[in-house]
Chains A and B, each alone.
Chain A
Amino acid sequence: MRYFTGIDIGSTASKVVVLDEASLVDRFVLPTGWSSKETAAAVAQRLAESGRPVDGEMKVVATGYGRVAVDYAAKTVTEITCHGRGGYALLGEDCTIVDIGGQDTKVITVENGLPTSFLMNDKCSAGTGKFLEIMANRLGVDLQTLFDLAAKGSPLAISSMCTVFAESEVISHIGAGEPREDIAAGVVDSVISKVAGLCARHTLKGAVFLTGGLCDSAYLVDRLGAKLGASVRSHPMGRYAGALGAALIARGAKGGNRI
């Protein structure tokens, strides 16, 4: 095999990483849309266009909640193991990975390069990317603007544990004429508190490493660090951690973690 591809079909975005024996050769993100099957087909098409068809010299491992839809994958592995493997490869040391995903948030302990234990949020979108997305929509801004606004505000209390009720709280704040910056800061604070609550139920070992789609926000990384009282690290490839882990698994143990 020449190429080893990891495909991470998340609830919001699908991430793809292509490795060869020694290094990273390609990576891209597609929106997942409404059908994981169609997304999987779109990924295959994109790979073919770049001259690396999935039915050629390629081994594919799929992960993420839509992993079963990737019918050309040699195998599927859960996003927990993949984030652990990929996160370790990016950071280069044992750590605790916090992945704030589109529909769930995970805390994963990595020891000797392998995930050894994990916690996931309960069946609820509070404390996930979905929560931020819903609230950004309510404020009429995109996610990046939400973070920009939040950085300028001081957080208002949004205390409900339920996204639907929290949305009502946001609406009350809007109705009361509170500044958007403060509401945005409250929204981010609410997510961070829930993520920190999940972390508190898990023994944090080593550095805290934020992966997933939100790790590009320096503001979020900073706020999480403040809440946890620990330094939180991120990486430009952080949102690809799951796909990278899948690609490394496709390449097998002999391939090591070279990227």
Chain B
Amino acid sequence: MMENTNIKLPDNFETYNEARQAGFLRMKQLKEKGAKVVGMFCSFVPMELVYAAGALPVGLCAFTEEPIPAAEANLPRNLCPLIKASYGFALTDTCPYFYFSDLVVGETTCDGKKKMFELLDEIKETYVMQLPHSRDDAALAFWKDQIVRFKEKLEDIFQVTITEDDIRDAIRRKNRERRVMLKYLELGKLDPAPMSGYEMGTRVDAGSFSFDLDQRCDIIEKRTAEVIAEWEANCKGKPSTRPRLLVTGCPNAGVREKIIRAVEELGADVVAFDTCNGNREKVELVDESNPDVYDALARKYLNINCSVMSPNDSRRAYIGELIDGYSIDGVVEIILQSCHTYDVEAHFIKRFVTQEKGLPYLNIETDYSQSDKGQINTRLAAFLETIDK
């Protein structure tokens, strides 16, 4: 890689707290060593192509309340907090990953994001993949074409040639990561739970900020083995009476304190995640035996059970598998305010969980603010009181 010494920090850098400064300095160092960075928000964007281009895919900041007031200068208030935060971080130069990205990639998952990307594009070039919302042959052909175009975009912007062998190699490495991460998430099947859901979620997210894919897999594999050893030594054979919960719905990193930590402090264990940062994207691998790499990628990504898909019955089927596989006692669905697709789909999820699986279900609609902390605590406590265990 070529050294680049012309990398600048944001104007406000001096005013940032230590953790944020450290984040910026780390990214700056990477860039100075010649790293190419592609920022993304969503698991629908095929990271394999970014790796194949010799670039680093990074998840962009979207999970705190702090930049939302700035975002609301240009975005309606009545919009999902994740979208407002994503834009706010970009607008205020406070997300090191956005700031140092060479290219930002969006996708037409929901209406709010789709339109927000148009505003984002005024700050930094934002390439938007057009995601179809169904899974039939026409959608698959369209999405495959989008994947090829994204590859061409990467080749163009980084002036590289991406070969099919490059993609195949990236598919293998990324599949390994999915397997490793899923093994880690499946620690939640153990009874008693070997760690809190709060810790599990935090670690999964932290893992995504370690940039070397192979190193990241090694770290997680090692940690998984450690947890199993600790569990076998200290916990095996002592099942817990704490209710075991599945969390489903919207991305929850921005409300992890308010909901996941809170419900665990009240006496439950969150052991499974049907979410973007949980099992959802990891459960299906890219087919390594498919000779057409673009077709293989298109099929895998189109099968992600996000509520933007219509219909999305496979999400219910997978929730059923999680309920059985993780011995779930209750389901908490988290809806970020104004997330229409998850909010509407919750109707089916509630019916499936309560009627077909016979389990208690709690739906919490919230945003990143702390104003409903007390109410949420009462709901969570009452929910646990209804679980007879």
Q: Are A80 and B354 in contact (CB under 8 A)?
A: no
Among A79, A104, A116, A123, the residue within 8 A (CB) of B386 is A116
Q: Are B360 and A117 in contact (CB under 8 A)?
A: yes
Q: Tell yes or no: B374 within 8 A of A by CB.
A: yes
Size class of the A contact interface (CB-based, 8 Å): 10 to 19
Among B361, B371, B381, B386, the residue within 8 A (CB) of A115 is B386
Cα distance, A115 to B387, chains bound together (Å):
10
Cα distance, A123 to B367, chains bound together (Å):
11
Interface centre among B365, B379, B385, B388 (most CB of A within 10 A): B385
Contacts of B361 in A (CB 8 A): 117
Q: Tell yes or no: A122 within 8 A of B by CB.
A: yes
Interface centre among B365, B371, B379, B382 (most CB of A within 10 A): B382
Closest to B384 in A: A78
Contacts of A80 in B (CB 8 A): 378-379, 382, 385
Among A65, A78, A79, A116, the residue within 8 A (CB) of B360 is A116
Q: Tell yes or no: B375 within 8 A of A by CB.
A: yes
Taken residue by residue from 347 to 389, chain B's Cβ proximity to chain A (1 for < 8 Å, 0 otherwise) reads as: 0000000100000110001000001101100110110011010
Nearest CB in chain B: distance from A83 CB, A: 10
Q: Tell me if B's interface is mostly helix, strand, loop or mixed.
A: helix
Closest to B337 in A: A122
Size class of the B contact interface (CB-based, 8 Å): 10 to 19
Among A65, A118, A122, A123, the residue within 8 A (CB) of B382 is A118
If the complex has contacts A115-B386, A116-B360, A118-B386, are A78 and B381 also in contact, measured as CB distance less than 8 A?
A: yes
Among B354, B371, B375, B388, the residue within 8 A (CB) of A120 is B375
Q: Tell yes or no: A96 within 8 A of B by CB.
A: no
Which residues 72-122 in A have Cβ within 8 Å of B in the complex? 77-81, 104, 114-118, 120, 122
Q: Are B354 and A123 in contact (CB under 8 A)?
A: no
Closest to B371 in A: A123
Cα distance, A86 to B382, chains bound together (Å):
15
Cα distance, A120 to B378, chains bound together (Å):
10
If the complex has contacts A122-B365, A123-B371, A123-B372, are A117 and B378 also in contact, measured as CB distance less than 8 A?
A: no
Contacts of A114 in B (CB 8 A): 386, 388
Contacts of B360 in A (CB 8 A): 116-117
Q: Are B386 and A65 in contact (CB under 8 A)?
A: no
Cα distance, A47 to B382, chains bound together (Å):
28
Q: Are A78 and B375 in contact (CB under 8 A)?
A: no
Q: Are B382 and A104 in contact (CB under 8 A)?
A: no
If the complex has contacts A104-B375, A117-B354, are A78 and B365 also in contact, measured as CB distance less than 8 A?
A: no
Nearest CB in chain A: distance from B331 CB, A: 12
Cα distance, A49 to B195, chains bound together (Å):
49
Q: Are B371 and A78 in contact (CB under 8 A)?
A: no
Q: Are A65 and B385 in contact (CB under 8 A)?
A: no
Closest to A78 in B: B382
Cα distance, A123 to B375, chains bound together (Å):
8
Nearest CB in chain B: distance from A198 CB, A: 13
Q: Are B365 and A117 in contact (CB under 8 A)?
A: no
Contacts of B365 in A (CB 8 A): 122
Q: Are B375 and A115 in contact (CB under 8 A)?
A: no
Cα distance, A123 to B369, chains bound together (Å):
12
Which residues 294-324 in B have Cβ within 8 Å of A in the complex? none
Nearest CB in chain B: distance from A163 CB, A: 15
Cα distance, A77 to B374, chains bound together (Å):
14
If the complex has contacts A116-B360, A117-B360, A123-B372, are A79 and B385 also in contact, measured as CB distance less than 8 A?
A: no
Contacts of A79 in B (CB 8 A): 378, 382
Interface centre among A78, A104, A116 (most CB of B within 10 A): A78
Q: Are B378 and A78 in contact (CB under 8 A)?
A: yes
Cα distance, A237 to B375, chains bound together (Å):
26
Q: Are B371 and A117 in contact (CB under 8 A)?
A: no
Nearest CB in chain A: distance from B371 CB, A: 6
Closest to B374 in A: A65
Cα distance, A117 to B378, chains bound together (Å):
14
Which residues 110-167 in A have Cβ within 8 Å of B in the complex? 114-118, 120, 122-123
The 22 listed contacts between A and B (C-beta, < 8 Å) are A65-B374, A65-B378, A77-B385, A78-B378, A78-B382, A78-B385, A80-B378, A80-B385, A81-B382, A104-B375, A114-B386, A114-B388, A115-B382, A116-B386, A117-B360, A117-B361, A117-B386, A118-B382, A120-B378, A120-B379, A123-B371, A123-B372
**CB-based closest 5 A-B pairs:** A80-B382, A78-B382, A81-B385, A123-B372, A78-B381
With A65-B374, A114-B388, A123-B371 known, 20 other A-B pairs at CB within 8 A are A77-B385, A78-B381, A78-B382, A78-B385, A79-B378, A80-B378, A80-B379, A81-B382, A81-B386, A114-B386, A115-B382, A115-B385, A115-B386, A118-B382, A118-B386, A120-B378, A120-B379, A122-B365, A123-B372, A123-B375
